[in-house]
Amino acid sequence: MSRSLPVICMLMQVGPDTVAAMEQCASVEREVDKVLQKFLTYGQHCEQSLEELLHYVGQLRAELASAALQGTPLSATLSLVMSQCCRKIKDTVQKLASDHKDIHSSVSRVGKAIDRNFDSEICGVVSDAVWDSREKQQQILQMAILEHLYQQGMLSVAEELCQESTLNVDLDFKQPFLELNRILEALHEQDLGPALEWAVSHRQRLLELNSSLEFKLHRLHFIRLLAGGPEKQLEALSYARHFQPFARLHQREIQVMMGSLVYLRLGLEKSPYCHLLDNSHWAEICETFTRDACSLLGLSVESPLSVSFASGCVALPVLMNIKAVIEQRQCTGVWSHKDELPIEIELGMKCWYHSVFACPILRQQTSDSNPPIKLICGHVISRDALNKLINGGKLKCPYCPMEQNPADGKRIIF
């Protein structure tokens, strides 16, 4: 322990060389930008060249058709033009093929830039003893990839992965993703029917989540009727009855929509209510549905794979520095637990999913095996700290003089 403490203190001060890391990323980014620029230039040049060829061949074809209608033999001039046309087509195709090969070399330079600027041996950052068996790792990774594919709507790819990896996935796992993707596809096509049907069938549970999904769906349908002009005015008025259950919570928004009816004959596009026709409402309803439906079904909005990947990109440079220090000091025992890191790595507010409690006595983060315990005086310490503070069957709170029975402490869950 005495040997590990200085190393841990040193690790706490070790951070990635930000300037160097950014320069490495910028170097690769420059190569990628060159490839993208070449793709763009090549695409424009290819399109222009092919259009010119089509126009040239079309003119020649018209001249040949005219000569055939007149019954005149093929003139020497037309024969020469046809030869020039064939040569031009051949030269253009060869030029496009040569430019395409040049793009391949640019793509290969991106790979070389990545190899030159980044450590390819990232698997060795952590000792194998920290992880589970290779078979279990592979199974967890395959399930994470599978869930990501289902969540992204790539159902055919997910099914192919199930067959090739021999993963046994039952229908109960797939069904929520299939239903979500079916409704999202309909929303992308501006079809509100499936989403409204789903929201109505889950109304009570959505209300418990304080969700406004059903109201927003009805509002969007009402706006679509308004966009139909004066011919849809009566239908819009009739549909407005769907707003009655939401009048208390969304009174202001309902008033705005009803007020827009005044300008229906003049055209909402030129009225103070033109914002109702903004296409951003469709993107908003897709986000709202995804968030609320995932919450209702116990799914995360972002797939665990994408979250893990993003977090790994932030944490990996720090872990590589830790590895270098551990190897330099020859203290491999500093990091031997798979459920915690030797130092804290800041991943940003986006990755804060739950509260964390650190024992103020032992200065250790609590866990399932060492949970936080609330004393009768109100102070909270870890179970390990509580056991160490017991003296003669009694416990004296380290923050106040109150003596108490250790058995009176209650586990709390944040």
Encode pLDDT of 24-61 as tens digits: 778 888 888 888 888 888 888 888 888 888 888 888 88
Query: What pLDDT is attached to residue 20?
Result: 63
- The verdict on 98 and 183 lying in the same domain is no
Of 7-21, 122-136, 318-332, which one has max mean pLDDT?
A: 318-332
- The verdict on 288 and 370 lying in the same domain is no
Q: Give CA angle at 11 (8, 15), nearest 5°.
A: 165
Gap between the Cα atoms of 388 and 147, Å rounded? 44
Q: Which domain holds residue 378?
A: 358-411
User: For 172-209, what is each residue's pLDDT tens digit?
Assistant: 888 888 888 899 999 999 899 999 999 999 989 888 88
- The verdict on 290 and 383 lying in the same domain is no
Give the domain-ending residue among 297, 312, 328.
Answer: 297
Query: DSSP for 207-270?
Result: HHTT--HHHHHHHHHHHHHHHT-GGGHHHHHHHGGGGGGGTTTSHHHHHHHHHGGGGTTT-GGG
289, 183 in Cβ contact below 8 A?
yes
% of the chain at pLDDT higher than 70: 88
CB atoms closer than 10 angstroms to residue 33: 11
Task: Write the burial class of residue 304 (CB in 10 Å: 0-12 exposed, 13-18 middle, 19+ buried).
Answer: middle
Give the domain-ending residue among 261, 281, 297.
Answer: 297
CATH number at residue 382: 3.30.40.10
Query: What pLDDT is attached to residue 186?
Result: 92
Q: Is residue 401 part of a domain?
A: yes
Q: Is residue 215 part of a domain?
A: yes
- The verdict on 106 and 187 lying in the same domain is no
- The verdict on 197 and 105 lying in the same domain is no
Q: What is the mean pLDDT of residues 75-97?
A: 84
Query: What pLDDT is attached to residue 57?
Result: 86
Gap between the Cα atoms of 297 and 293, Å rounded? 6
Gap between the Cα atoms of 294 and 290, Å rounded? 6
**Of residues 71 and 58, more confidently modeled:** 58
Confidence check: pLDDT of 398 > 80: yes
Gap between the Cα atoms of 160 and 96, Å rounded? 36
- The verdict on 281 and 212 lying in the same domain is yes
Gap between the Cα atoms of 179 and 28, Å rounded? 40
Q: Is residue 320 part of a domain?
A: no
Q: Is residue 29 part of a domain?
A: yes
Q: What is the mean pLDDT of residues 60-66?
A: 83
Q: Is residue 143 part of a domain?
A: no
% of the chain at pLDDT higher than 90: 9
- The verdict on 174 and 293 lying in the same domain is yes
- The verdict on 203 and 282 lying in the same domain is yes
Query: What pLDDT is attached to residue 15?
Result: 41
Q: Is residue 310 part of a domain?
A: no
| Count of domains observed in the chain | 3
372, 381 in Cβ contact below 8 A?
yes
Query: What pLDDT is attached to residue 115?
Result: 80
- The verdict on 261 and 372 lying in the same domain is no
Q: Is residue 335 part of a domain?
A: no
Query: What pLDDT is attached to residue 4?
Result: 40
Q: Is residue 161 part of a domain?
A: no
Is the pTM value of this prediction over 0.85? no
